[in-house]
Amino acid sequence: MPEQYDLVVIGAGPGGYVAAIRAAQLGMKVAVAEKRSALGGVCLNEGCIPSKALLDSSELFAQIRDKTAGHGILVDPPRIDLERMLKRKEDVVKKLADGITALFKKNGIVTVTGTASLSGVGGDGMITVNVRADDAALPPRELAGRRVLLATGSAAVEIPGLPFDGVSVVDARGALEFNEVPGHLLVVGAGYIGLELGSVWRRLGSEVTVVEALAKPMPASDGQVADTLVRSLRKQGFSFRMETRVTALRAGDGRLTVELQGPSGSEQLTCDRILVAAGRRPLTAGLGLENLGVAVGTDGRVVVNENYATNIPGIYAIGDLIAGPMLAHKASEEGVVCVERMAGQASTVEYEYIPGIAYTWPEAASVGKTEEQLKSSGIEYAVGRFNFSANGRARCMDETEGFVKILAAAKTGRILGVHIVGPRASDMIAEAVTSMTFGATAQDLAMTFHAHPTLAEIMKEAALDVNKQAIHA
């Protein structure tokens, strides 16, 4: 007889594990089926966390190599112990994964390791989930849930002619596990993942070339932010080929040669490794959606309503499986709201205020509308902008690249978008998200205390500049 639960969650990534914990807090009996032996999903095990661990390590290395002399700190040229650096990354991941395991234990959540699929709906309305262990000798386990939440996330997209082999042509996971610094790394895709992992290996000594089919990187970002970030990355040694595609790949003599087709014609480029970061696809294969008739859109995303319910009663989906940006914090919020709605609460996700961040250096962070979007919609707006170079704390840090830009409605002053490129933009954007969520105006933000000297003062000055009242401009 199947093990019975109030909620069965398939997938223990940032959407699934957060939903499970919140459901348990609400009194539900919860089981989570996860194919990995470790909890946390792609984000924790091979994405967000390990990439940030390597970004911080490589950033520290670059600072010691390039910046300490300017602070009067003289050191011998630093050397890289890549094995130790990768070990530190794994330690960070393990500690956080162990933390989720402890949270599951604390909240009485049952974890079932194996590949899960929907197998049927009983006469009592209970949905059966079959979980197969990797070891074929072990019998499958059957779980039955009054509700089932699909939270299996996404995987990197392969592009024609560049199949992943795990060694020479890799996805983000492979790029986090190189056993040596590539001499020349080709990055296909100028989104967050490509620019971040390109930054890691560039700082550690790789030559990095970025190939992007579109005219600019991070196409959904504010144009000025994208342009500023590209200029900074070029200064760091990045090479960009925009509006360019890889049309052929040839391996020989231990290296890779690609054919590129761009605005000026075709060219050949020789490299050592290729990172393909050209997008992600929802992981629905093997879930058994067809067994129960769960509706899937033409884009491969599961179709849900405002309660995250599919067309099959009792089955729900969140995160990368459904419409919207594929971001860990979006999935987590959807997981919380989904189970709270199951419990009768009127929770909502504020989709207009989801921040997006590139953890390059300088960092880039945005929330709300871009200038391009406001212009195309015919919305009248005012712009306030303030540069890091005019900020005392940024000067002390020797980090003066970038700016904060605030877009506000022309008549009401309500903040419509905030865009930052500069040091610690990933932390600074939280103030903008909070302000916009509460419907703040630029004047509200300008009248709020910001401690001196801090980078946050730049936000205040940009808000003042919306009405051309910036003090230090």
Per the DSSP assignment, residues forming a β-bridge with 345 are none
Is the domain defined by 3-155+281-349 classed in CATH 3.50.50.60?
Answer: yes
pLDDT class of 107 with cuts at 50, 70, 90: very high
* Residue-level pLDDT at 123: 74
Count other C-beta atoms under 10 Å from residue 114's C-beta. Answer: 18
Give the domain ranges of the chain: 3-155+281-349, 169-278, 353-466
Tokens of 90: 């794994």
* Residue-level pLDDT at 132: 93
> Is 90 exceeded by the pLDDT of residue 295?
yes
C-beta of residue 15 within 8 angstroms of C-beta of residue 319: yes
C-beta of residue 302 within 8 angstroms of C-beta of residue 284: yes
7-44 pLDDT, tens digit each: 999 999 999 999 999 999 999 999 999 999 999 999 99
> Is 80 exceeded by the pLDDT of residue 334?
yes
Beta strands in 253-368 (DSSP E): 255-262, 265-271, 273-276, 280-282, 315-317, 356-358, 363-368
Rounded Cα–Cα distance for residues 388 and 407 (Å): 18
Tokens of 452: 């001196």
Fold classification of 353-466 is Enolase-like; domain 1 (3.30.390)
* Residue-level pLDDT at 219: 87
Q: What is the mean pLDDT of residues 389-398?
A: 96
For the question of residue 452 being annotated catalytic, the response is yes
Q: CA angle at residue 338 from 332 to 342, to 5 degrees? A: 150
Where residue 396 falls (left for φ over 0; alpha for ψ -120 to 50; beta otherwise) is alpha
Where residue 189 falls (left for φ over 0; alpha for ψ -120 to 50; beta otherwise) is left
Domains 3-155+281-349 and 169-278 equal at CATH topology level: yes
List the catalytic residue out of 71, 329, 450, 452: 452
258-286 pLDDT, tens digit each: 999 999 899 999 999 999 999 999 999 99
Q: What is the mean pLDDT of residues 445-458?
A: 97
pLDDT class of 240 with cuts at 50, 70, 90: very high
Amino acid residing at 156: A
Rounded Cα–Cα distance for residues 367 and 356 (Å): 6
Rounded Cα–Cα distance for residues 51 and 261 (Å): 30
Q: What is the mean pLDDT of residues 326-338?
A: 98
* Residue-level pLDDT at 135: 80
Judging by DSSP bridges, how do beta strands 207-212 and 239-242 pair with one another?
parallel
Q: CA angle at residue 276 from 180 to 171, to 5 degrees? A: 60
Per the DSSP assignment, residues forming a β-bridge with 408 are 382, 415
Fold classification of 169-278 is FAD/NAD(P)-binding domain (3.50.50)
Tokens of 57: 């390590």
